[in-house]
Amino acid sequence: MAKFFAVTIIVIAILSAIPILRHTWVAPEDISTHGALIDEQMSETMAEAGISFLAAQFVLAIFIWKFSNPGPDAKLKNFPGGAKGLVIAAILVVGVEVMALGIFGVKAWANVYLTPPSADALPIQVQAGQFAYYFRYAGADGKFGATHPEMINEGTQNIFGLDPEHDVDARDDIIAAEMAIPVNKEVHLLMHTKDVGHSFYVRELRVQQDFVPGLDVSLHFTATKVGKYEIVCTQLCGLGHYNMKAYLEVMSQPDFDNWLKQQAGQ
């Protein structure tokens, strides 16, 4: 029974590792400038976690195999080195390794969150609401019109609560239900939600950020590959949560300019 148990542990450990080694299920290819560091951090952590996982399971299995039901004559022994050795090993090997990971990881985090967007980044406002995203581009004047929550009306499609009659800045604002951005140009995303908490998750962009009711959150990134990607909500927001999504289209600069013109015409 014990030997069978030991073998089971080893088989499970190996089977668990196979999909990871074979990259059966992995995140889609990165299309951002900051994502490479995150991916690197991920694979380094995977190496360390994987080794720790396999080592711990194997040692456990071996000891179970070797020391179960040895009969009454078996001499009791203690592991040479005792607890002190193990504590030192835990602190030196695991502790230092993990702390090192953490320290290297700071750079990947800082890339996304601790650097300001460049001055010429394209500002786009995204408004999340139950259960859709809307995007707003500032238009020719480069200024966003002020929003008035009391004027939000989905019936008349005044999604952001703009007041173009009295507000010059709002007149040329472009509103779209999907997000288009030019490739290789930094985007400065201004995030706000009109109701509850939501999130903005684009796997390929290596971006995930919650919307916080009552707060304006900002995020910046640069996409490097033309294509169509999904934006999905990852913060439980109500019954339509599973279906809250929009598309992100990364275009060449001319395509983007055309798209913007088209949207403005509508």
Partner 1 sequence: MHDMSVHAGQHHAPPTSFIRKHVFSLDHKVIGKQYYALALVAAFIGMFLSWLMRIHLAWNNAAIPGLQLLSKTGAPGGVMTPEYYLQLMTMHGTIMVFFVLTTAPFAAFGNYFLPIQVGAEDMPFPRFNMMSFWVTFTAFLVLMSSFFLGDGPTLGGWTQYAPLNAVGSVAGPGQGLGVVLWMASIALFCVGQLLGSLNFITTTLDLRVKGLSLMRLPLSAWAWFITSCMGLTAFAVLMPACILAILDHVAGTSFFVASNLVINDQIQPHSGGSTLLWQHLFWFFGHPEVYIAIVPGMGIVSHVLLANMRKQMLSQRTLIYSMGALALLSYMVYGHHMFVSGMNPYSSLAFSFPTLVITIPSTIVVLIWTFSLYGSRLRINSASLFALGFISMFVSGGVSGFFLAQPSIDIMLHATYFVVGHFHLVMGVAAMFGIFAGTYFWFPKMTGRMMNETLGKAHFWLSFVGAYCIFMPFHYLGMAGNVRRYASFVDDYLQPLIPVHRFITVAALCTGAAQLIFLYNLIHSRFRGEAAADNPWEATSLEWSTATPPPFDNFGGKHPVVYHDPYQYGVQSSVGDYVMQASPEQVKSDNEEK
Of residues 94-113, which lie at the interface with partner 1 (CB under 8 A)? 94-95, 98-99, 101-102, 105-106, 108-109, 112-113
116 binds partner 1 (CB under 8 A): no
Return the number of other C-beta atoms located less than 10 Å from residue 157's C-beta: 9
- In the block, tokens 């360390």 appear at 48
* CA 65 and chain centroid, separation: 42
254 binds partner 1 (CB under 8 A): no
> Which of 212, 249, 255, 263 lies at the binding interface for partner 1 (CB under 8 A)?
212
Report the distance separating Cα 80 and Cα 199, nearest Å: 52
Please name the residues in contact with 21: beta carbons below 8 A apart, sequence gap of 6 or more.
none
| Best CA proximity match to 133, nearest among 176, 172, 170 | 176
Interface stretch with partner 1, choices 44-52, 138-146, 166-174, 258-266 (CB under 8 A): 44-52
Interface stretch with partner 1, choices 41-49, 118-126, 174-182, 258-266 (CB under 8 A): 41-49
Q: By C-beta, is 61 or 170 nearer to partner 1?
A: 61
> Which of 36, 117, 130, 263 lies at the binding interface for partner 1 (CB under 8 A)?
130
185 binds partner 1 (CB under 8 A): no
* CA 239 and chain centroid, separation: 22
Peptide bond into 131 cis (omega under 30): yes
Interface stretch with partner 1, choices 84-92, 116-124, 167-175, 256-264 (CB under 8 A): 84-92
